[in-house]
Amino acid sequence: MDTHSIFIRINRRDIAYFKFIVESHEGIAVVRTKDPREAILELMVAPGCEREVEEVIEVLRKEISIEKL
């Protein structure tokens, strides 16, 4: 399966929360911490789920700071 990667930076204290929320949406993306010190995450988005992942990110932006890289 070919995935599309999205890289973001969030506050370190929000990493677990962000992963929990994304992973609760079964199968849309896998979240991997690329740099825990800088809180850079890679979202490996499943084909056809790009829009849903973007929607989740937009909703979470109301709660936490998310910077797309």
Nearest residue to 45 (alpha-carbon basis) of 61, 23, 13, 68:
23
Q: What is the pLDDT of residues 42-67, one digit of tens each?
A: 999 999 999 999 999 999 999 999 99
pTM: 0.87
d(CA 14, CA 12): 5
Q: Is 37 left (phi over 0), alpha (psi -120 to 50) or beta?
A: alpha
Token pair for 25: 């949406």
Q: Per residue in 3-42, pLDDT tens? A: 899 999 999 999 999 999 999 998 999 999 999 899 999 9
Strand ranges across the sheet with 4-10: 29-35, 40-45, 4-10, 66-68
Q: Which domains are present in the chain?
A: 4-68 (3.30.70)
